[in-house]
Structure 1
């Protein structure tokens, strides 16, 4: 296996693990199970919340940069915009079923990221800092709770123009401010020689330092008027969350790259196969996974964290097996193949 193959398989493995984390978080959310208390299981779900999806977005940014780095800017831009349109249509359809859909946000990330396709690492880093600063300013200045019913997680005016824009840009589940920072982080990481051991070690160390900085910032704000804005949970997405989310993404990507480099082999195939078709599996975990939960009456809020964990892990195992079997006959997942046909 060449160094480039190991790099790509490492990113596929990281994408698979990020998706698995999102399935766990989303199943808990759909089952209306509270992750309260100080138990190990509650702490595990809190650890995943927002970090798995941040890693997912970071890997999308890296994937975009890797896919377009050898293309002319105009060709890369047109291809990216076509993918954005495809994701927007798919995401809006998915939003009618699952309010926490991430795909329609992805569409905006892709469309806007064209501006940075040929940006230098310094410009990408500076843009991330600027976006994070503007986002924190917006959190302090505007009403983050506008539109939300926090008991039901319903959003008033979601399908009307002002509410849709506010949700998309400012206070939705994955708003452009500041989630675009994770996408730009992925584009920045794709510029690095990720197959080199020294880069993997440095990236792991950076990830741990960022997570530590986020935790320290949260502790500093605890018990003060800044406590709400300096939490490491994704809503509201303050600076402590950005640090821990970016750190988790860097640490997981580095770990997966390191693991694939040291232990290549057939054992990876089921996981990397699933990692190459995360778009299909993401939609499947909502339409099929949550559909089965609904038919079993498990979305009424009476289940426990243990049930949410078992249901999510069962879906992940079945989805991994299905993706592996699919990969024996097809190079891409169903929705990935459709997107390639539509967008190139």
Structure 2
């Protein structure tokens, strides 16, 4: 049985990503206003929710290593293509997460939690031992020598936008959550409670750390992805997932569930659309030059999300899958 709540949560994650990415692309400086603070809170959280949901999907589906490997290859190639126009691509990272997950598809819940902890520890070790700022120009948010072997490996596994270490921990956590009875109200409540607890606990250390050398490690910002960021973002992802699963039946009764779930089932297509069509339109209008206010870019973002919801709902009436989802299914499915 497909859980509409997971599709709805995926759409919410997409909306959060649009709010963050449109603001970055438009070079809008965040301020102290409510809209800026809200968008700030989504940075690194929306993408983390996406990865946790991907992990849940791996556990809910059949553990077919060959099929998952083929999908990883598709996402990797799509990501490399996307990188030519959008340097903050996440698709090629997804491919690497999926490859990392292959040995753990049938692992126990305990092993999955240990895998998440090990990934987190590897990421922390990298932050302590290696130079996180290598290759980065923080003023322009560009990464030098990405298309070299050393640059690609460093970016993908250590200091890129969503490096495998420690971001794959979100996937392993999602895989563990996917083993639970997500239709159970008790499980949903526990996800919310434990998620909120983790989010709060992850945010506490930064309030007390004064040492400049430890501030980045104690912070909950996604760059650099310190251990407390992973804990806090994982907590918020679990809380949102549990909450949306809990209210999904009420949304269904109100006739809203399918409207919100349809775009969640086409998240891959929407991800590409928000870059090609969303940012592309803003660029064509000459609005990626920092001239927009926080409220205007917020309005553009919400408008794009609303339009996405409408168009994907119409598309779902005629087609089972979104355009890119159908292409991935066609290109990676082979008869046994």
What is the TM-score when the length of structure 1 is the normalising length? 0.94
Question: In the alignment, what sits opposite 2:42?
Answer: 48
Question: In the alignment, what sits opposite 1:72?
Answer: none
Looking at structure 2, the residues matched to 330 and 343 of structure 1 have their Cα atoms a distance apart, in angstroms, of 19
> Which whole-Å deviations, capped at 9, do the CAs of 1:276-312 have from their partners, x for residues lacking one?
0000000000001010000011111222211221111
Looking at structure 1, the residues matched to 17 and 52 of structure 2 have their Cα atoms a distance apart, in angstroms, of 14
Question: In the alignment, what sits opposite 1:270?
Answer: 259
Q: Give the SS at the match of 1:68.
A: coil
Question: In the alignment, what sits opposite 1:16?
Answer: 11
Question: In the alignment, what sits opposite 1:73?
Answer: none
Q: Which runs of 5+ in 1 are unaligned?
A: 70-75
> Which whole-Å deviations, capped at 9, do the CAs of 1:119-168 have from their partners, x for residues lacking one?
10000001111111121111011100000000000100011110011000
Select which of 170, 175, 178 maps to 1:182.
Answer: 170
Residues 1:38 and 2:32 are matched in the alignment? yes
Question: In the alignment, what sits opposite 1:214?
Answer: 202
Looking at structure 1, the residues matched to 146 and 296 of structure 2 have their Cα atoms a distance apart, in angstroms, of 30
State the Cα distance separating 1:317 from its structure 2 match. Answer: 0.6
Looking at structure 2, the residues matched to 93 and 308 of structure 1 have their Cα atoms a distance apart, in angstroms, of 26
State the Cα distance separating 1:222 from its structure 2 match. Answer: 4.4
> Which whole-Å deviations, capped at 9, do the CAs of 1:169-214 have from their partners, x for residues lacking one?
0000000000000011111110000110111111100100001011
Residues 1:57 and 2:46 are matched in the alignment? no
Residues 1:150 and 2:138 are matched in the alignment? yes
State the Cα distance separating 1:261 from its structure 2 match. Answer: 3.1
Select which of 140, 151, 155 maps to 1:163.
Answer: 151
Looking at structure 1, the residues matched to 318 and 26 of structure 2 have their Cα atoms a distance apart, in angstroms, of 35
How many residue pairs get aligned? The number is 332
Q: Which runs of 5+ in 2 are unaligned?
A: none
Select which of 82, 103, 113 maps to 2:91.
Answer: 103
Question: In the alignment, what sits opposite 1:67?
Answer: 61
Question: In the alignment, what sits opposite 2:184?
Answer: 196
8 A contact 2:48–2:237 mirrored in 1: yes
8 A contact 2:252–2:258 mirrored in 1: no
Residues 1:321 and 2:315 are matched in the alignment? no
Q: 1:200 to 1:95 in 2, by over 3 A?
A: same
Looking at structure 1, the residues matched to 217 and 32 of structure 2 have their Cα atoms a distance apart, in angstroms, of 21
Q: Give the SS at the match of 2:56.
A: helix
8 A contact 2:135–2:144 mirrored in 1: yes
State the Cα distance separating 1:263 from its structure 2 match. Answer: 4.0
Looking at structure 1, the residues matched to 22 and 189 of structure 2 have their Cα atoms a distance apart, in angstroms, of 33
Residues 1:300 and 2:286 are matched in the alignment? no
What is the TM-score when the length of structure 2 is the normalising length? 0.96
State the Cα distance separating 1:88 from its structure 2 match. Answer: 0.7
Question: In the alignment, what sits opposite 2:112?
Answer: 124
State the Cα distance separating 1:224 from its structure 2 match. Answer: 4.4
State the Cα distance separating 1:249 from its structure 2 match. Answer: 0.6
Question: In the alignment, what sits opposite 1:260?
Answer: 248
State the Cα distance separating 1:60 from its structure 2 match. Answer: 0.9
